[in-house]
Amino acid sequence: MVSAQDGPEKLAINSELRDRSERGLDRLAPNLKSAVILRDLQGMNNQEAADVLAVSVSSLKARLHQGRVQLREYIRGYLEDQTNKEY
């Protein structure tokens, strides 16, 4: 967690990462985006999210996995650049 006591560089990096994550979510197909948002941002369990989306739990898990993989790939380059800057 980033606090106001963290330096400006860390605050900027966290803000950029949040922006990059939001752009990544926007790039996901709607069915993948919904699964990721319900589980990872809204904190629903698998059954609750599956019920909202009117799909089976196994379908939700597949969507969630695919959405997370795509999101991870989208932000990977940014994270690697930040890691390289620290050393």
Q: What is the pLDDT of residues 28-79, one digit of tens each?
A: 999 999 999 999 999 999 999 999 999 999 999 999 999 999 999 998 877 7
- Taking each helix axis from N to C terminus, what angle separates 8-27 and 57-86, rounded to the nearest 10 degrees? 150
C-alpha closest to that of 61 among 47, 73, 75, 74: 47
The residue to which tokens 């196994």 are assigned: 58
In 3-state terms, what secondary structure has residue 55? coil
pLDDT score at 13: 67
The class that CATH gives domain 8-86 is mainly alpha
DSSP H or E stretch at residue 63: helix 57-86
Domain boundaries, the chain: 8-86
